[in-house]
């Protein structure tokens, strides 16, 4: 608690009470006070601790006549244990100055002033002579005298600063003015000695089962002239007293003779058996110390390491397996290592993931016990029935678990997941056509993929297929760009998806080139339909290329029949074309300005027969178009 005082407190507070004195022998206190004639003003400070104290963290604070003004004197140097520090007025008698450790002209208190010792590091008041905020008149009454023109010394039984002056005034011996005979020394009755502390030397120990015994060590610090005893008790954790370890008379009393700091030992028997078992533990505990002793470490755990041959290890041979739905059964194998002369058993349990026992798979008596005969290393096999149904469904899984091994066996692989592979086809996927043609001038084109229902009208969940390109006469990165990709159909009715690729329009006159897209990696019980690959023909759009394709014809339509796109090739002598339906109605008219290759988008046209009518100032041509 902070106990720093301000001038406001000094002015307004008539009496001051403090919550708590420093603990005995824990901090500095005033050991002598001299208020003599002239400037013989002296304060002696004593260090009752066992450590050297840095005085720069302390100051003396003087309150004049119960209030302001006041002054502070900051101390210097260090103070060793059981030593005094003398602070004197700089004009004191030579006999005083000869004993002074620090002098100050601010040491000008009189008998009616309060003197305070403060720890500046914590702002705690640790000792006081007089009372803050009170003017006593001429002096403070102390024992048989006063603080005016007297030397007073702290009684030997005082071992800490006193913050309550009603008590502090009784802790001083009074001597005549200018009595310097005791200055520089102080006698204090020592604080009570630290009581003995008893402890277990180790908190853990390991001992081999064949060692016969284990030694428990108990130590002590601060022994005194009296004997000290403590109760030592052994208790089971996983080891059993009388079967795995023993101690005659448990619990027992451990005795430390008077003044002895020697470690005491307790020998505990370790029982060697023929059982193959895991490491086992027991507890050591101390309690009931005598002679006011404390216990700083009261528990130790002793581990008994088995010395018999390793126990069997049982495991599932596989961690994962797959089986077709129509396979009838699947064999689950359970293995063993380190068998001994005794039989070993383990519990074998099947449990559902998304497959259901009795509907997708079955095992009579589940869970069952798997037994390995004594000495046998042969795998044991459990045949699990697989139930075939006509339901279109996802692949499903169930769990295999081992538990409860006997014969001190351990489980080194206790989990397996079995996947039942559905054999019904969910859907068939194929390209719309096996060959398609596109003009080099079209920057983007797409090949259509269709999903056709399998045994169900809709896909139960999403289906994916991988599209891979293989160049033939066309060169990837030169004539076309296509990155291998995955096409996804979401759950629901079948619909069309598209493989989108990009064409590179160059200025080279070249023959028609092509590349191939292929379907692979069908998921979720989907399969390949009628058309697994498509050849994409790239028709050159550079001068003379179209003429080569036309072979002396005026007009050609590629492909025909067409789906969503077609290419109109001409001899370059037509200004525009019209698309008419079977009744002759014009549906679309487009200026082509004598271009030789023109792309026609047919997405919005219904399936049927149409006519492409091309015109120029001198000629006309008609081509029939079949829209699929």
Summarize the confidence of residues 275-295 as an average pLDDT: 91
Identify the architecture of domain 549-627 in CATH. Answer: Sandwich (2.60)
Contacts of 229 (CB under 8 A, 6+ apart): 253, 254, 255, 256, 288, 289, 290, 291
Q: Bridge-partner residues for 332, per DSSP?
A: 382
Superfamily grouping for domain 197-305: CalX-beta domain (2.60.40.2030)
Q: What is the token pair recorded at 500?
A: 């989108």
Summarize the confidence of residues 519-548 as an average pLDDT: 75
Show me where the domains of the chain are located.
7-175, 197-305, 313-421, 427-539, 549-627
What CATH number should be reported for the domain whose range is 427-539?
2.60.40.2030
Q: pLDDT at residue 10 above 50?
A: no
pLDDT band at 543 (very low <50, low <70, confident <90, very high): low
Choice between 439 and 187, residue whose per-residue pLDDT is larger: 187
CB atoms within 10 A of CB 607: 10
CA distances from 85 to 285, 413, 514, 596, 620 (A): 48, 76, 106, 115, 127
Q: pLDDT at residue 445 above 70?
A: yes
In CATH terms, are 7-175 and 197-305 the same topology?
A: yes
387-440 pLDDT, tens per residue?
Answer: 988 776 678 999 999 999 998 889 999 999 999 987 766 677 888 888 888 887
Burial class (CB in 10 A: 0-12, 13-18, 19+), 382: middle
Superfamily grouping for domain 7-175: Lamin Tail domain (2.60.40.1260)
Q: What is the pTM of this model?
A: 0.37
pLDDT score at 473: 82
In which order are the strands placed within the sheet that holds 172-175?
102-104, 84-89, 41-46, 29-35, 150-154, 172-175
Choice between 528 and 256, residue whose per-residue pLDDT is larger: 256
Looking at CATH, the fold of the domain delimited by 313-421 is given as Immunoglobulin-like (2.60.40)
Q: What's the mean per-residue pLDDT of the chain?
A: 87
pLDDT band at 7 (very low <50, low <70, confident <90, very high): very low
Summarize the confidence of residues 535-548 as an average pLDDT: 70
pLDDT band at 192 (very low <50, low <70, confident <90, very high): confident
pLDDT score at 455: 47
Q: pLDDT at residue 492 above 50?
A: yes
51-109 pLDDT, tens per residue?
Answer: 999 999 999 999 998 776 689 999 999 999 999 999 999 999 999 999 999 999 999 99
- Does residue 111 sit in helix, strand or coil? coil
């Amino acid at each position: 608690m902070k106990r720093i005082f301000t001038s406001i407190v000094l002015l307004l507070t008539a009496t001051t009470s403090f919550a708590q004195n420093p603990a005995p022998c824990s901090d500095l206190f005033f050991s002598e006070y001299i208020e003599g004639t002239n400037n013989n003003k002296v304060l002696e400070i004593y260090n009752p601790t066992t450590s050297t104290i840095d005085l720069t963290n302390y100051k003396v604070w003087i309150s004049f006549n119960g209030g302001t003004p006041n002054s502070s004197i900051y101390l210097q140097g260090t103070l060793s244990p059981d030593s005094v520090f003398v602070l004197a007025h700089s004009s004191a008698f030579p006999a005083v100055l000869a004993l002074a450790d620090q002098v100050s002209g601010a040491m000008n208190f009189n008998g009616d002033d309060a003197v305070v010792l403060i720890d500046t590091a914590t702002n705690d008041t640790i000792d006081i002579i007089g009372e803050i905020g009170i003017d006593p008149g001429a002096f403070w009454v102390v024992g048989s005298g006063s603080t005016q023109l007297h030397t007073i010394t702290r009684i030997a039984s005082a071992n800490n600063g006193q913050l309550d002056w009603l008590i502090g005034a009784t802790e001083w011996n009074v001597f005549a003015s200018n009595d310097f005979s005791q200055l520089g020394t102080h006698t204090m009755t020592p604080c009570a000695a630290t009581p003995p502390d008893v402890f277990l030397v180790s908190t853990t120990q390991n001992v081999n089962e064949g060692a016969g015994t284990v030694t428990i060590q108990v130590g002590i610090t601060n022994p005194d002239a009296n004997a000290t005893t403590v109760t030592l008790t052994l208790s089971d954790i996983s080891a059993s007293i009388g079967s795995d370890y023993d101690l005659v008379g448990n619990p027992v009393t451990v005795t430390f003779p008077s003044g002895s700091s020697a470690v005491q030992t307790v020998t505990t028997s370790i029982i060697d058996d023929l059982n193959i078992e895991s490491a086992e533990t027991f507890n050591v505990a101390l309690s009931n110390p005598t002679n006011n002793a404390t216990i700083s470490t009261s528990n130790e755990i002793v581990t008994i390491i088995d010395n018999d041959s390793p126990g069997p290890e049982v495991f599932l041979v596989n961690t994962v397996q797959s089986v077709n739905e129509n396979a009838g059964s699947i064999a689950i194998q359970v293995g063993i290592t380190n068998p001994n002369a005794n039989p070993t058993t383990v519990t074998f349990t099947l449990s559902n993931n998304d497959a259901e026992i009795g509907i997708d798979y079955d095992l009579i008596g589940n869970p069952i016990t798997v037994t390995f005969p004594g000495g046998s290393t042969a795998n044991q096999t459990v045949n699990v029935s697989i139930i075939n149904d006509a339901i279109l469904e996802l692949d499903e899984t169930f769990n295999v678990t081992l538990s409860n091994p006997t014969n001190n066996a351990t489980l080194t692989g206790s989990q397996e997941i079995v996947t039942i592979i559905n054999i019904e086809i969910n859907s068939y996927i194929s390209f719309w056509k096996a060959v398609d043609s596109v003009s080099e001038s079209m920057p983007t084109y797409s090949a259509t993929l269709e999903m056709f229902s399998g045994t169900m009208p809709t896909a139960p969940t999403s289906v994916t297929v991988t599209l891979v390109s293989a160049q033939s006469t066309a060169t990837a990165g030169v004539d076309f760009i296509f990155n291998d990709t995955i096409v996804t159909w979401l759950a629901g009715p079948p619909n069309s998806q598209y493989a989108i690729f990009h064409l590179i329009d160059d200025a080279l006159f070249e023959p028609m080139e092509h590349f191939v897209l292929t379907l692979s990696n069908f998921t979720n019980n989907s399969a390949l339909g009628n058309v697994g690959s498509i050849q994409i023909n790239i028709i050159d759009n550079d001068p003379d290329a179209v003429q080569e394709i036309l072979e002396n014809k005026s007009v050609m339509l590629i492909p025909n029949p067409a789906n969503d796109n077609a290419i109109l090739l001409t001899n370059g002598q037509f200004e525009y074309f019209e698309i008419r339906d079977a009744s002759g109605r014009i549906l679309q008219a487009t200026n082509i300005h004598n271009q030789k290759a023109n792309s026609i988008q047919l997405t919005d046209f219904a399936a049927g027969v149409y006519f492409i009518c091309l015109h120029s100032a001198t000629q006309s041509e008609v081509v029939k178009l079949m829209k699929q």
